[in-house]
Structure 1
Amino acid sequence: MLNIEDLFKGRHFDREIIILCVRWYLRFKLSFRDLVEMMAERGVSLTHTTIMRWIQRYVPEFEKRWNCFACRAGGSWRVDETYVKIKGRWTYLYRAVDKEGKTVDFLLRVKRDVAAAKAFFRRAFKNQGRLPQKITLDGYQASHRAALEVLGEHRSGKRTKIRSSKYLNNLIEQDHRSIKLRLGPMLGLKRFRNASITIAGIELMHRIRKGQFKLGKLRIKNKTAPEMWNAVLAA
Structure 2
Amino acid sequence: MGAVSPSYKGHRYPVEVISHCVWLYHRFPLSFREVEELMLERGIVVSYETIRRWCAKFGQTYAGALRRRQPQPGDKWHLDEVFVKINGEQKYLWRAVDQDGNVLDILVQNRRDKAAARRFFRRLMKRTGAVPRVIVTDKLRSYSAAHREVMPCIEHRQSKYLNNRAENSHQPTRQRERAMKGFRSVGGAQRFLSAFSGISPHFRPRRHLMTAAAHRTEMTVRFAIWEQIIGVTGLATAA
Q: With structure 2 as the length reference, what TM-score do the two structures score?
A: 0.83
CA-based RMSD of the aligned residues comes to 2.4
**1:62 and 1:233 in contact (8 A); partners too:** yes
Aligned to 1:230: 227
Aligned residue among 133, 149, 160 for 1:166: 160
2:230 partner amino acid:
L
CA gap 1:33/1:141 in 2 versus in 1, 3 angstroms: same
Give the corresponding residue for 2:201: 207
Q: Are the counterparts in 2 of residues 77 and 97 from structure 1 also a CA contact under 8 Å?
A: yes
Deviates more, 1:90-99 or 1:25-34: 90-99
Question: What residue is the counterpart of 2:78 in the other structure?
Answer: 78
Match for 2:191 among 191, 197, 214? Answer: 197
Q: Please give the secondary structure, in 2, of the residue aligned with 1:7.
A: coil
Change (3 A) 1:106 1:222: closer
Letter in 1 for 2:102: K
Task: Map 1:10-21; keep pairs closer than 5 Å.
Answer: 10-21=10-21
**What is the TM-score when the length of structure 1 is the normalising length?**
0.84
Q: CA deviation at 1:68?
A: 2.4
User: How much has 1:8 moved relative to structure 2?
Assistant: 0.6
Alpha-carbon contact 1:77-1:96 (below 8 Å) kept: yes
Q: In the alignment, which residue of structure 2 is the partner of 1:215?
A: none
- Work out the CA distance in 2 between the residues paired with 1:16 and 1:94: 33
Q: Is the 8 A contact 1:137 1:144 kept in 2?
A: no
Q: Secondary structure at the match of 2:170?
A: helix
Aligned-pair identity (%)? 32
Residue of structure 2 in register with 1:8 after alignment? 8
Where does residue 128 of structure 1 map in the other structure? 128
**What secondary structure is seen at the aligned counterpart in 2 of 1:121?**
helix
Residues 56, 194 of structure 1: 8 Å contact kept: no
Deviations 1:100-145 (A, max 9, x none): 3222222121222222211111111122222111111111111221
Is the alpha carbon distance of 1:143 and 1:48 closer, same or farther for their aligned partners in structure 2, counting shifts above 3 Å?
Answer: same
- Following superposition of structure 1 onto structure 2, how do residues 93-104 of structure 1 map, counting pairs within 5 Å? 93-104=93-104
Taking a change above 3 Å as real, the CA distance of residues 75 and 225 of structure 1, as seen in their structure-2 partners, is closer
Q: Following TM superposition, by how much is the alpha carbon of 1:198 offset from its aligned partner in structure 2, in angstroms?
A: 0.7
Structure 2: unaligned runs, 5 residues or longer: 207-216, 235-239
> Aligned equivalents of 2:26 and 2:63: distance in 1?
12
Alignment-derived partner of residue 139 in structure 2: 139
- Residue pairs, 1:33-182, within 5 angstroms: 33-151=33-151, 157-158=152-153, 160-182=154-176
Compared CA separation, residues 79 and 221, structure 1 to 2 (3 A):
closer
Q: Give the conservation status (yes or no) of the 8 Å contact 1:20–1:226.
A: no
Structure 1 unpaired stretches of 5+:
152-156, 213-219
1:81-100 Cα distance to aligned partner (Å, 9 max, x none)? 11222212222111112223
